[in-house]
Amino acid sequence: MEQALASVGTGPLLARDLLSSADLTRDDNELVFARAAHLKRELRADHRHAGQPLAGRTVALILEKQSLRTRVTFEAGLDQLGGHALHLGEGIGFGVRESVSDVARNLERWVDGIVIRTFAHSIVTELAAEAGIPVFNALTDDEHPFQALADLFTLREHFGRLQGLVMTFVGDGNNVYHSLALAGAVMGMEIRLAHPEGYGPNPAIVALAEKLAAANGGNIVVGRDPRQLAHGSDALYTDVWVSMGQEDQSRARLASFAGYSVDTSLLELAGAAAVAMHCLPAHRGQEITAEVIDGPRSLAFEQAENRLHVQKAFLVESLGR
């Protein structure tokens, strides 16, 4: 693998957008995982990288949603590999100050790629359609593909495989669940969702995930009872009950999601070898207990670290020289 990794930027991801987890095949994911594992070992061993495959590359970061992990991991990752992140803050004003098309047509003349974290998924798809440079979805209301890549890489590190693993997502059928369902289906996993009534996933995304699962030996299960669906799971995954932009729904959501917390009893029901996962930020005492997220079976902070490694891997395969 080390010999194969020596050739930078010649893989199937070269100059490609990443808008949805469904954009990536099994081979694409494996390519990113292999590169990420190499970069992770190298950084941990030497606190630096031997090469600078992103030297001379500039990536614009458009972060319309508040961020810790996304901004730090993309900025640090680009810096570690010789590139430069240009943080544009929250003031682009798509559709107000300037059209999405004009933003795309300007940025393509100045930078090598665009990382965008925004609200409506349509902004990302339009930006990608109009820009002559790669566009990378760092979160929309519909999907969170880099998070799913990091999560699956983390599971692969822990269990040594993905095919046949069972992950149960407890809570909202949200953007993180959507990307996990799509990516997990491609990798032959069973992805379950236990959600309260009225908080289910997008039916079109579930239908696509089911199609991908059927083609790759995976399975998609959607239901209500977290205890029933947790049984026999390799991983229990949860996310905040109230996301950015949903603050006005806080009271209703907290009431609806009562009983959907990942606690010790639910983790034990999953199995003795089951792990707990969370994309962070976490609200201890709501969607997950402190005992679980800070306990020995939690992979939450490994997931957070692996955002750095998979994003670097993807950027190298997409923009590297």
Known active-site residue 144 = yes
Report which of 13, 138, 45 is spatially closest to residue 85, judged by C-alpha positions: 138
What confidence category does residue 321 fall into, taking pLDDT thresholds of 50, 70 and 90?
Answer: confident
What pLDDT, on the 0 to 100 scale, is given for residue 95?
Answer: 78
CA distances from 143 to 22, 96, 155, 308 (A): 10, 24, 19, 18
Q: Are residues 162 and 13 in the same domain?
A: no
User: Catalytic one among 35, 142, 147, 192?
Assistant: 147
**102 vs 170: CA distance, rounded Å:** 40
Task: Identify whether residues 149 and 292 lie together within a single domain.
Answer: yes
Residue 73 and residue 107 in one domain: yes
Angle made by CA atoms 309, 312, 313, in degrees to the nearest 5: 85
- Is position 28 annotated as part of the catalytic site? no
Residue with the two structure tokens 């069973």? 190
Quick check: bond before 281 cis, omega within 30?
A: yes
Q: In terms of domains, do 189 and 136 share one?
A: no
Tell me: do 253 and 129 sit in the same domain: no
Among the options 16, 35, 69, 117, which is catalytic? Answer: 117
For the chain, what is the largest distance between any 2 Cα atoms, rounded to a whole number of angstroms?
55
SS3 per-residue string spanning 34-54: HHHHHHHHHHHHHCCCCCCCC
For residues 295 and 263, state if they share a domain.
yes
Residue 117, phi-psi category: left (phi > 0), alpha (psi -120 to 50), beta (remainder): beta
Which of 244-248, 250-254, 303-307, 308-312 shows the lowest mean pLDDT across its residues? 244-248
Q: What's the whole-number mean pLDDT along residues 232-236? A: 98
Predicted confidence (pLDDT) at residue 3 exceeds the cutoff of 60: no
pLDDT value of position 141: 96
Q: What is the Rg, in whole angstroms, of the alpha carbon atoms belonging to the chain?
A: 19
In this structure, the chain runs to a length of 321
**Domain carrying residue 23:** 2-142+307-319
Whether the predicted pLDDT of 214 surpasses 90: yes
The active-site residue out of 57, 172, 239, 278 is: 239
Q: How confident is the model at residue 28 (pLDDT cuts 50, 70, 90)?
A: very high
What whole-number distance in Å separates Cα of residue 60 and Cα of residue 84? 9
Q: Count Cβ atoms below 10 Å from residue 183 Cβ, excluding itself.
A: 27
The pTM of this model reads: 0.95
Q: Give the residue among 7, 321, 289, 36 at the shortest CA–CA distance from 157.
A: 36
Q: Is the pLDDT of residue 248 over 90?
A: no
Whether 303 is catalytic: no
Which one of 57, 69, 121, 144 is the catalytic residue? 144
CATH number at residue 123: 3.40.50.1370
Of 80, 178, 279, 286, the catalytic one is 279
Instruction: Examine the domain organization and report whether 278 and 154 are in the same domain.
Output: yes
pLDDT band at 250 (very low <50, low <70, confident <90, very high): confident
Give one word for 275, left, alpha or beta, with left for phi > 0 and alpha for psi -120 to 50.
beta
Q: Do residues 205 and 142 lie in contact, with contact meaning Cβ atoms separated by under 8 Å?
A: yes
| Token duo for residue 107 | 């940025």
Looking at the predicted structure, is the pLDDT value of residue 91 above 70? no
pLDDT at 8 over 60: no
Whether residue 35 is found in the same domain as residue 158: no
Assess whether 81 and 11 both reside in one domain.
yes
Q: Letter for the amino acid at 288?
A: I
CA distance 23 to 145: 9
Q: Could you say which DSSP state residue 85 is in?
A: E
How far, in Å, CA of 84 to CA of 75, rounded? 7
How many folded domains does the chain comprise?
Answer: 2
C-alpha 113/C-alpha 206 separation (Å) is: 29
Which residue among 16, 69, 178, 307 is the active-site one? 307
239 an active-site residue?
Answer: yes
Measure the CA–CA gap between 223 and 93, rounded to whole angstroms.
39
Tell me whether residue 225 is one of the annotated catalytic residues: no
Q: Which residue has the tokens 């820009």?
A: 131
Same-domain status, 112 and 214: no
| Token couple for 115 | 């990382």
Q: How far apart are CA 257 and CA 243, in angstroms?
A: 13
